[in-house]
Structure 1
Amino acid sequence: MTKTRAKKELEPFIPSYQGILLAGADEAGRGPLAGDVVAAAVILDPDNPIAGLDDSKKLSEKKRGALFDEIKEKALAFAIARGSVEEIDTINILHASMLAMKRAIDDLTVAAEYALIDGNRIPSDLPCSAEAVVKGDARHPAIAAASILAKVTRDREMVALDAEYPEYGFAKHKGYPTKAHMDAIEQHGVTKFHRKSFGPVQKNLSLF
């Protein structure tokens, strides 16, 4: 049975977690007006530690990129999954985020025995017991690693989208509702990559 309690304080390494296959899970992209929400799950190797893991938002783009490669090289297992724009518009961003994290945990090539989920909610129907960890990406290295994989993956996808739609400036704002992004939507309309259930996009649907 999945645990549903949220743990507000967590040291980077807790003895009770030693000796089990512990996965950290996090997502990136709940706030943007465009693009998928991306999630990752990571099982770190205690015998092959990674220095410098932290909340991805606190790291420079260069540092995140270097850690992205190191995590993929050293982790016992990792998986990256997503909730699509269509799913976000159908089931809402919260449920799409939970679905993306569940998919990431399900896709791990090594089955997790326990999962730490960033935030205060736990996805339903996980394959293992889990607990929510508020601000977990700054409190546990496995969640921090997941946050890095998710953010780097999503950021790179938005940079690639910028090459297709340069007038929107996706490479700069990554889909977030900046003034430049809002101005671009008003000037050029809504693309198929925009989340049409989000208010700022809805009011410009007639321009699509």
Structure 2
Amino acid sequence: MKEVRRALCNAATDDSKLLLLSAVGSVFCSGLDYSYLIGRLSSDRRKESTRIAESIRDFVKAFIQFKKPIVVAINGPALGLGASILPLCDIVWASEKAWFQTPYATIRLTPAGCSSYTFPQILGVALANEMLFCGRKLTAQEACSRGLVSQVFWPTTFSQEVMLRVKEMASCSALVLEESKCLVRSFLKSVLEDVNEKECVMLKQLWSSSKGLDSLFSYLQDKIYEV
């Protein structure tokens, strides 16, 4: 998360017209690093859980406040926060191989990335609940048909299709792109910031209770042993 936040901060002040987020390899985002969480929560559960919740909040806030268009190229699976942040971005292009999953309840967490608000708004309450409560997996085509993804491209030409469109966007005026995004998103900013804060508070409350923290800790340990 720190690397992405750093990229957002750097791009906010440089002369770029937009930000392109992509991944190296066959996976866009694999979700939580279980071994890292086990290590951190083993030392001081309550202190570290608060720190992690606030790190997630600050990561999401960086997307909400970013003024330039954010383009995302999803080359493969996007799990957890990697899928939740997509509605905070402006254009999402996906490979046919991509799929999306946010199994928060399954991994003993409450929703993050403003997905408790954006998913019902975009996907509808029924599908959003299936994704957030049951961990339903969406294919690239399903995600596109429901508005989570802008377009889907064939894997063999995915990179070329993305770069062609990015170059077309980059030929536009930087001022026009930024002001256009402001017009589209300005009324949502305060709502998303409020949702982000509430999701952070909920995570803190969950982890501050021994039952909630023990449930997460037990699940993470089981996942480590499965690897």
TM-score interval (norm. to shorter): under 0.3
TM-score (normalizing by structure 1): 0.25
Q: TM-score, normalised by structure 2?
A: 0.24
Q: Write 1 or 2 for the structure with the bigger share of strand.
A: 1
- Which structure features the higher share of helix residues? 2
